[in-house]
Amino acid sequence: MATTAISVTHERENYLNKEYGVKSWLLTTDHKRIALLYLLSITFFFFIGGFFALLIRLELLTPAGDLVQADTYNKLFTMHGQVMVFFFLIPAVPAVLGNFLVPMMIGAKDLAFPRLNLLSWYLLIAGGALMLYTILTGGVDTGWTFYTPLSTAFLNTHVITAAVAIFIAGFSSILTGLNFIVTIHRMRAPGLTWSRLPLFVWANYATSIIQVLGTPVLAVTLALVGLERGLHLGIFDPQRGGDPLLFQHLFWFYSHPAVYIMILPGMGVVSEIVACFSRKRIFGYKFMALAVIGIAVLGFLVWAHHMFVAGISLYAALVFSLLSYFVAVPSAIKVFNWTATMYKGSISFATPMLYALGFIGLFTMGGLTGLFLACLGIDVHVTDTYFVVAHFHYIMVGGMVMAYMGGLHFWWPKISGRMYPENWGRLAAMIIFVGFNLTFFPQFILGYLGMPRRYWQYAPEFQVLNVLSTAGATILAVGYLLPMVYFLWSMRYGKIADANPWSAAGLEWRTPSPPPTHNFEEPPVVTWEAYNYDELKEAPGER
């Protein structure tokens, strides 16, 4: 195979060079191109959300509120949360990696509804544009949670445009979920039974169930907030006998499962990576598949644990606390099974594996601290403090973003036909790991000591830990910039990748890198179980 990568371009037709021109991208129905459109979009939003994060950390370098006004600070954390949740985390793995890989992993030519897929992307862009407009015209300061009656009756910021932006983005999410469900049910290759599916597909399937069942409730809730604010319908307004807690019930009915929308696809990625770099079948495949479904279902039963101190009845609090303990069980099963997969495996520490290992450790910490919060007594002490902030960032950033990065590195050869520079990859992974822990571990302590969240100033005794956190954030930012640079570099100068550089199992590795538009010349007929690493050769080679 060619060793001089620079001048030899891929002469074989693939999905990237099949057609050129802006129109061929903006009107594409190829799931792989749509995945790349999403990749560009969410990277853009990641930078916007990250920018707000840096401003927050800059303000928190000193106890006094000296960088921005209090109201501005409220806008900073609101916009950080809304952009990161709705325009980065929710679409990230499903819309980028899921879109690219799910059809290939099941041996199909495309998703069930390719035009709907493109519409999903346009909806994200439309919502994103409206969110940008909201930001540029002064932002919104309700917190990403839009609690009433603050959002409906007491603020003069752009609540409605933000709500509409998220409403539109929600439909992007719903349609993607719908597409995946029908695709996975109806378009699997002959012989590919449910019990032979890669766990990445199971994870996206479970995620899609949540997207389809939960997001509409968010949509109607935001619509009601808009109607209340704009037309004075008084549904959540206590002055008219309404109950602000009703908003919270409806909001969290979606927003708790939403965190599982964010993490489940990442878990799917980790399963693929751990199996490949341990050269072993995933331990307990059936339980892993059931666990993602279990997380999806149980995740819908716990939402009021965000409302323990808001005024729900003690009886309800007890019920939701108990259910919240249950939802940890399938997650724990997954962590144990990944560990068992690695036991006596032949482990190599390529960049994707470093991210996967980081995920397992950090997700475990985040998950365990979630159990702390599920305990009513502890929750009363640490709710609305930095303990909660640290908990969810351990899962979202330490877990989800790491899984996303791991997945990008693992499948980059398939997506681009090039290898990224391995040493830079490992370096960036380690910088991210160090930066992440330095940013967020101090926040557990801060929260426990009593520093409230969403305040723009704090008591002076908290300053040292805050400075450490900000230092960590700076390192983290460097860590995220590195892959941006070397991925772009690799598209021109990276080593040309063959079809299966990792000798990984999975139908996607049986196509050329990059794949042709229709993925497979003939639909494959599957006669083997998933993760058949005992049959695959050790050394990377042509397949």
Partner 1 sequence: MSDSEAVLTHAPGLQEHFATMEQQRDASTMGMWVFLITEIMFFGGMFTAYMVYRHAYPAAWAAGSEHMDFWWGTINTVVLICSSLSMAMAVRAAQTGARKALVPLLILTMALGCAFLGIKAVEYHGHWIEHQFPGPDFRFAGPDPRHVQIFFSLYWAMTGFHALHMVIGVGLVAFIAFWGWKGRYTPEYYNPVENVGLYWHFVDIVWIYLYPLLYLISHKHVM
Partner 2 sequence: MSEHIVPKRTYIGIWASLMCLTVVTALVSWVDLGQWSAVVALAIATCKALLVVLFFMHVKYLSQKMTILVIVAGLFWLGLLMALSMADYGTRVLQ
Give the interface with partner 2 as residue ranges (CB under 8 A). 185, 213, 217, 245-246, 249, 253, 300-301, 303-304, 312-316, 319-320
Give the total residue count for the chain.
543
> Closest approach of Cβ 249 to partner 2, in Å?
5
- Among partner 1, partner 2, none, the one that 12 touches (CB under a kind-dependent 5 to 8 A) is none
**What tokens appear for 71 in the block?**
């109201």
3-state secondary structure of 279: coil
226-238 b/e (C-beta count within 10 Å ≥ 16 → b): bebbeeebbbbbe
Q: Which is nearer to partner 1, 70 or 223 (CB)?
A: 223
- Among partner 2, partner 1, none, the one that 272 touches (CB under a kind-dependent 5 to 8 A) is none
- Among partner 2, partner 1, none, the one that 224 touches (CB under a kind-dependent 5 to 8 A) is partner 1
**What tokens appear for 233 in the block?**
């319908």
Q: Which is nearer to partner 1, 233 or 333 (CB)?
A: 233
Distance CA 12, CA 10 (A): 5
Q: Which is nearer to partner 1, 200 or 247 (CB)?
A: 247
> Closest approach of Cβ 163 to partner 1, in Å?
14
Residues 6+ apart with CB under 8 A from 357: none
Q: Which is nearer to partner 1, 101 or 217 (CB)?
A: 217
Residues 6+ apart with CB under 8 A from 319: none
Identity of the amino acid at 230: G
**Beta-strand runs (E) in 232-367:** none
> Closest approach of Cβ 383 to partner 2, in Å?
17
Q: Which is nearer to partner 1, 223 or 309 (CB)?
A: 223
Q: Which is nearer to partner 2, 296 or 389 (CB)?
A: 296
> Closest approach of Cβ 253 to partner 1, in Å?
8
- Among partner 2, partner 1, none, the one that 153 touches (CB under a kind-dependent 5 to 8 A) is none
Distance CA 149, CA 470 (A): 33
DSSP character for 462? G
**What tokens appear for 273 in the block?**
């990576």
> Closest approach of Cβ 221 to partner 1, in Å?
6
Distance CA 59, CA 466 (A): 10
- Among partner 1, partner 2, none, the one that 3 touches (CB under a kind-dependent 5 to 8 A) is none
> Closest approach of Cβ 248 to partner 2, in Å?
10
- Among partner 2, partner 1, none, the one that 232 touches (CB under a kind-dependent 5 to 8 A) is partner 1
Please, what is the end-to-end C-alpha distance for the chain in angstroms?
Answer: 13
> Closest approach of Cβ 442 to partner 2, in Å?
35
- Among partner 2, partner 1, none, the one that 227 touches (CB under a kind-dependent 5 to 8 A) is partner 1
Q: Which is nearer to partner 2, 37 or 112 (CB)?
A: 112
> Closest approach of Cβ 313 to partner 2, in Å?
4
Q: Which is nearer to partner 2, 123 or 317 (CB)?
A: 317
3-state secondary structure of 481: helix
Closest CA to 440 of 480, 404, 387: 387
* Cβ atoms of 74 and 245 closer than 8 Å: no
**What tokens appear for 345 in the block?**
């495996």
- Among partner 1, partner 2, none, the one that 220 touches (CB under a kind-dependent 5 to 8 A) is partner 1
Residue 40 half-sphere exposure toward CB, CA atoms < 13 A:
11
> Closest approach of Cβ 189 to partner 1, in Å?
10
- Among partner 1, partner 2, none, the one that 109 touches (CB under a kind-dependent 5 to 8 A) is partner 1
Q: Which is nearer to partner 2, 238 or 541 (CB)?
A: 238
Long-range Cβ contacts of 534-539 (<8 Å, 24+ apart): 534/281, 536/279, 536/503, 536/504, 536/505, 537/503, 538/279, 538/346, 538/503, 539/503
Q: Which is nearer to partner 1, 24 or 339 (CB)?
A: 24
- Among partner 2, partner 1, none, the one that 303 touches (CB under a kind-dependent 5 to 8 A) is partner 2
Which residues are near partner 1 by CB under 8 A? 108-114, 116, 174, 178-179, 181-183, 185-187, 212-217, 219-221, 223-224, 227-228, 231-235, 240-243, 246, 249-250, 253, 518, 522-523
Distance CA 413, CA 423 (A): 16
**What tokens appear for 439 in the block?**
């940013």
> Closest approach of Cβ 172 to partner 1, in Å?
13
